[in-house]
Amino acid sequence: MNGAQDLGGMMGFGPVIPEPEKPVFHAEWEKRALAITLACGALGQWPGDRGRYVRETLPPIEYLTSSYYEIWTKALLRLLLAENMISSEEWEAGKALSPAQPTKRPPLSLERVAPLLAAGTPYNRAPIAPAQFKVGDKVRTRVTNPTTHTRLPRYARGKTGVIIEVHDVFVFPDSLAHGKGEDPQWCYGVRFDGIELWGADSDPHLELVIDLFEPYLMAAS
């Protein structure tokens, strides 16, 4: 979707300045926000891509004026309410007012946290069809403006690039975020020239590689 999170190439927001690795958290409540979000996600009520999509649906003024973990907690509240895991009355009261609803997975116990995080969540899948493109192929991204989740950046739509790497087959976020199944798709590293993305005023030496799923691409002449 064309939400406030899709800022690539937009003016007025300043340069991207990476923060130092430490401190990881800027306040004690951020640690708790991360822990609660991971614990709720481990219950299996929604996939991670749905969580990302819900964060994107925050109103632009709210999204752009919220810190990283404020965005996480606001989206988590929406998910908990949507899944009837809490009620609005419980949210206002700050405590449970009725028995907890059963979830797809049991609550995450302390001894399971470290092994679960260490194992990660693999999203690669076995291919069900050959890759449509190969290294060196010239491709053009599709022009689409969905109201649903997408990992195709707005600034890279309708642009021509070259396949420089065929990665693997992965779960397709656009499908998984909306409960439509995994729909595994090939993913490619696509190189674009800065001038192609941002026009003649771009740095002529700039190149950008974006990992893109096959449904976003079509062959270019």
Of 62, 85, 119, which residue is a domain's last? 119
Say how far apart CA 121 and CA 108 lie, in whole Å. 15
Number of compact structural domains in the chain: 2
Of 87, 119, 151, which residue is a domain's last? 119
Q: Are residues 189 and 147 in the same domain?
A: yes
Confidence class for position 15, pLDDT limits 50, 70, 90: confident
Confidence class for position 17, pLDDT limits 50, 70, 90: confident
Q: Are residues 150 and 111 in the same domain?
A: no
Domain, as residue range, for 214: 138-219
Q: Are residues 103 and 146 in the same domain?
A: no
- Is 34 inside any structural domain? yes
- Is 12 inside any structural domain? no
- Look at residue 77 and tell me whether its pLDDT is greater than 90: yes
Helices (H), 42-178: 48-56, 60-64, 68-82, 88-93, 110-119, 173-176
Say how far apart CA 137 and CA 162 lie, in whole Å. 6
Give Cα separations from 12 to 9, 73, 115 (angstroms): 10, 27, 43
Which structure tokens are listed for 142?
A: 């599709």
Q: Are residues 44 and 87 in the same domain?
A: yes
Q: Are residues 107 and 181 in the same domain?
A: no
Q: Higher confidence at residue 132 or residue 13?
A: 132
Q: Are residues 50 and 110 in the same domain?
A: yes
Q: Higher confidence at residue 204 or residue 209?
A: 209
- Is 113 inside any structural domain? yes
- Is 183 inside any structural domain? yes
Q: Are residues 108 and 184 in the same domain?
A: no
Q: Which of 17, 38, 56 is nearest to 178 (CA)?
A: 56
Predicted pLDDT of residue 107: 92
- The average pLDDT across 153-161 equals 97
Q: Are residues 184 and 145 in the same domain?
A: yes
Say how far apart CA 73 and CA 58 lie, in whole Å. 11
The secondary structure of residue 196, as a DSSP letter, is: H
- Look at residue 19 and tell me whether its pLDDT is greater than 90: no
Residue 183 phi, psi (nearest 5) = 40, 60
Q: Are residues 162 and 93 in the same domain?
A: no
Q: Are residues 50 and 106 in the same domain?
A: yes
pTM: 0.92
- Is 19 inside any structural domain? no
74 within 8 A of 58, measured Cβ to Cβ: yes
CATH number at residue 67: 1.10.472.20
CATH number at residue 212: 2.30.30.50
> How confident is the model over 44-57, as pLDDT tens digits?
999 999 999 999 99
- Look at residue 90 and tell me whether its pLDDT is greater than 90: yes
Give Cα separations from 5 to 153, 195, 196 (angstroms): 10, 23, 22
Average pLDDT, the chain: 95
Strands (E) across the chain are located at 138-141, 160-170, 185-193, 207-213, 217-219
- Is 89 inside any structural domain? yes
Of 56, 85, 119, which residue is a domain's last? 119
| 1-10, 55-64, 149-158: range with lowest mean pLDDT | 1-10
Predicted pLDDT of residue 11: 85
Q: Are residues 142 and 111 in the same domain?
A: no
- Is 112 inside any structural domain? yes
